[in-house]
Amino acid sequence: MCGITGYISDQVNTIELKEAVDSLKHRGPNNQSFWERNGIGLGHTRLSILDLSEHSNQPMHSHSERYSMVFNGEIYNYIDLSKKYKIKLDNPSDSELILKLFEKIGADFVKELNGMFAISILDRQTKIIYFFRDRLGIKPLFYFFDGENFAFASEIKALLKYKLIKENLSIDKATINQFLNIGYISEPHTFFKNIFKFPAGHKASFLNKKLTTNSYWSIEEQIETSTINNEKLAKQKLDALITDSVKKRMLSDVPLGTFLSGGIDSSLVSAIAQKLSDKPIKTFSVGFKESQYNETEYAQKVAKHINSDHHEFIVSEKEVLTLIDNFFNAYDEPYTDSSGFPTMLVSKLAKQKVSVILSGDGGDELFHGYGMYNWATRLDLPLVKSFRKPISFALRQMSDRYKRASELFLYQDNSKIKSHIFSQEQFFSSTKEISKLSKYQKTYLLNEIVTSNRKLKASEEQAIFDIKHYLKDDLLVKVDRASMFSALEVRVPLLDHRVVEFALNLDPKLKIKNGVQKYLLKKVLYEYVPEKIFDRPKWGFSIPLDRWLKNDLRYLLEQYTEPKLIEKYNILDVEYVQNLKSKYLKGQDYLYNRLWSIIVLHKNLEKYL
């Protein structure tokens, strides 16, 4: 795992390139290198995982010296590809395979890769620079383009080391309302004008100040005309796919372990990894001393059953609170997902023992584990569609729990229902609320249309929305930044594209059956771990932010909702914010995420303006 950066511009100097590379050192502490020639630069910082020798340092150059590459990620089938294409690897590594495969078959080589990656390859003869990002967007890639100058990097902080970018930095205000609505900024936009997220599942070429981008994989293209509905065969297929995915991701020349929360997804990945290992694998969990937020007993039960070498970190809430500054440093633009705090903490602790971790991310989106999918089904019922406003009115007359639920029925129209369900399930501001909260009405709308080869159920469309947006631009961002902040590589077996393609075509009745969510995935898990261990409510990997903002983090609430600060930027309505804060402090705890997004927004405005 690594960090990459580079540019095509006559306005960048060696010092700036070196500073950009240094800013990514946390992603790769083992080596930092760069290459420059005639207004083109490439930089790389390396976390050594495969082939620990200096031969795999980057930028890497082809034998002919025509091609130069920087690459972040891992390719799990590189040995198979070397055999398929009869490519001799001098110092076997996935980096060497990428460069030689590109040289042999061209840009379509990316379709052969199984892995997570962001790749840049420069053709020094034609001056074309190529880019490739993995199918699901597991690894990040940002780029800056102002019509003249082009630069790219694994993180925005590296781009800001280039003087021409930093001195002309301006906020893209059209992202603000989207952020307030969903808690993150979705691809292709960022908080900044002229800085973009390179799209997942795409390849591109840059030549003569023009970036040409093409898709090589998309979710919609994987949806087939019929579904897999034979439970026995589906279970066998899913077990085999996940087992092979885990096996491929256990390839490492450094110590490897798994995150084990005790939930369905991490338990399945850990159990299969242990089955494939000839010695106890290292498993890691983190819990709070405050018992209400400590579920490590479940992880202990799983670890005991699979006989892993389990490491449990019990921390106080105070220890998590010390990560506030690191949290905002790790995420270079407004980002609200507070589960980044415990993820950052367990990554830091796991790094003491291993350099590679397997995690269970993706299971909820692929196999329908969120309450959002039940809501999508409910709101799609003809009777509910006809009487949604009266239903909402009736719910508002009841307790706070029902008042919160009432908002789910008040979506603007069917074209925005998916983002509305997500927003209200996560306790963010609805578009109706934002029209009162924000003085700036322009916004980037999320693409909620799903075009496929068969008619999808509402729950399927909601899940696809989450894969395209929430998973990619929130959850995977969380894991990448939180883990790489401690130079820990996290691999996600459930997001092997073969598993994803299988899940997209699995009958929804095998995802939610008799009220049981993630039904088929659980059936596979119970082949490895007893079902009774999981007979409990679903519990997320979270912190008690709703309580902290009234106590330990009250200072952030007061500082970043202060009227003078709000007036300084003149983006939000002062009176609306104060009213929101007053309701929260008087007991409407569910408003915490609305206020947290306002805090995060103003903290970023203070940082960059």
What does the H/E/C string look like for 30-89?
CEEEEEEECCEEEEEEECCCCCCCHHHCCCEECCCCCEEEEEEEEECCHHHHHHHCCCCC
- Kindly report the backbone phi and psi dihedral angles of residue 176, in degrees, each rounded to the nearest multiple of 5, phi listed first: -65, -45
Instruction: With beta carbons less than 8 A apart as the criterion, state whether 372 and 505 touch.
Output: no
**Per-residue pLDDT at 563:** 98
**Per-residue pLDDT at 291:** 58
Closest CA to 457 of 409, 500, 509: 509
Q: Which amino acid is at 254?
A: V
Structural domains of the chain, ranges and CATH numbers in brackets: 2-217 (3.60.20.10), 221-367+458-534 (3.40.50.620), 544-609 (no CATH)
For residue 454, how many other CB atoms are within 10 A of its CB?
11
Both tokens assigned to 470: 């929430």
Instruction: With beta carbons less than 8 A apart as the criterion, state whether 319 and 345 touch.
Output: yes
**Which runs of consecutive H residues, i.e. helices, occur in 331-430?**
340-350, 363-367, 371-379, 382-386, 388-396, 400-406, 417-425
**Per-residue pLDDT at 318:** 82
Give the H/E segment covering residue 113: none
Rg (CA), the chain: 24
For residue 309, how many other CB atoms are within 10 A of its CB?
14
Torsion of CA 609, 194, 466, 288, to 10 degrees: -30
- Is 2 among the catalytic positions? yes
Whole-number Å distance between alpha carbons of 210 and 608: 28
- Mean pLDDT, consecutive 10-residue stretches, the chain (609 aa), reads 94 97 96 96 89 79 97 97 97 95 98 98 97 98 98 98 97 98 98 98 97 98 98 98 98 94 96 98 88 78 98 86 92 96 93 97 98 97 95 92 90 93 96 96 91 95 98 98 97 98 98 97 98 81 86 95 98 98 95 98 97
Instruction: With beta carbons less than 8 A apart as the criterion, state whether 412 and 181 touch.
Output: no
Closest CA to 93 of 76, 68, 116: 76
**Per-residue pLDDT at 537:** 73
Whole-number Å distance between alpha carbons of 211 and 125: 18
**Per-residue pLDDT at 294:** 66
Question: Omega of the bond prior to 140 within 30 degrees of 0, cis?
Answer: no
Instruction: With beta carbons less than 8 A apart as the criterion, state whether 214 and 202 touch.
Output: yes
> Which member of 1, 2, 81, 525 is catalytic?
2
Whole-number Å distance between alpha carbons of 530 and 262: 12
Question: Omega of the bond prior to 280 within 30 degrees of 0, cis?
Answer: no
